[in-house]
Amino acid sequence: MAEYTDQSEPAIRVDSLTAGYDGRIILENVSFEIPRGQIVTILGGSGCGKSTLLKHLIGLYPPVSGDISILGRSIVRSSESERRKIMQSFGVAYQSGALFRSLTLAQNVALPMEEFTDLSPEEIQKRVNEKLSLVQLANFGEMLPSDLSGGMIKRGAFARAMALDPAILFFDEPSAGLDPLSSASLDQLILEIRRKTGATIVVVTHELDSIFTIADRAIMLSRETKGIIADGKPADLRDHSGNEFVRKFLNRGRIPAVSQGHTL
């Protein structure tokens, strides 16, 4: 499984990140750190760069400039072999689930272990059962993704993301397309995953109920500024932010008065 560096290092450090595509800048000079064990949500309006930031954090795209460190190791300046090792220290659950439809749920979860470890088939099966049990899918391992509900596919994606016991988990719009009860259940699962694994969890979402339920911290991006316009506890930002757009966004369009002495 993944080996981690100096425990005093933050889980994620972003230094002066500028990112974009085809000559168009989406994010400019963005910097922040995420301590180990936090649940952090990345939010903002359409086109603010949430997905762009996520794709750069997980190493899918190189930045225009700046650096990103995962557990103290640069994913930008590393060699290809080093980057491959770094990427084993985090797991990703994509919005669609991205499960292989020709494989059973158990086979999907086993795949990272088969590719990146020397575990025996028996040990892999044991760990697959553990992951499926953690996401409350213990009896569904032999089913194909086409036989699962949307919520079950999301949970299966969580299980696969945890296959290598990563220190960091990235969840992309985990509640998208789910009914309110399924979404609330998934929120509780995210909290349970953090409690049982101690993982740092980064969630890209626009679901306000989820943000206020799970997040220790919210980082809000802006399309206009191409950067961070708010960073703090969600309830504090909702009630006390000095930025009117932030308060309006987190209050579903209402603009409450700012409490004196608590602007952020």
Closest CA to 150 of 130, 129, 180: 180
pLDDT at 259 over 90: no
Q: How many domains would you assign to the chain?
A: 1
What mean pLDDT is predicted for residues 29-35?
97
Residue 90 lies in a domain: no
Band of residue 255 on the pLDDT scale cut at 50, 70, 90 = low
Q: Cβ distance 171 to 202 under 8 Å?
A: yes
Q: Which two tokens stand for residue 56?
A: 């750069």
Domain extent at residue 155: 99-162
Closest CA to 68 of 81, 47, 53, 84: 53
Residue 72 lies in a domain: no
What mean pLDDT is predicted for residues 117-124?
95
More confident position, 248 or 95: 248
What's residue 257's pLDDT? 58
Residue 13 lies in a domain: no
Question: pLDDT digit string (tens) for 37-61?
Answer: 999 999 998 889 999 999 999 999 9
Q: Cβ distance 218 to 43 under 8 Å?
A: yes
- Residue 23's identity, in one-letter code, is G
pTM: 0.90
| CA angle (35 as vertex; 57, 38 as ends), nearest 5 | 90
Average pLDDT over the chain, rounded to an integer? 91
Bridge-based pairing state of the strands 12-21 and 227-232: unpaired
Residue 122 lies in a domain: yes
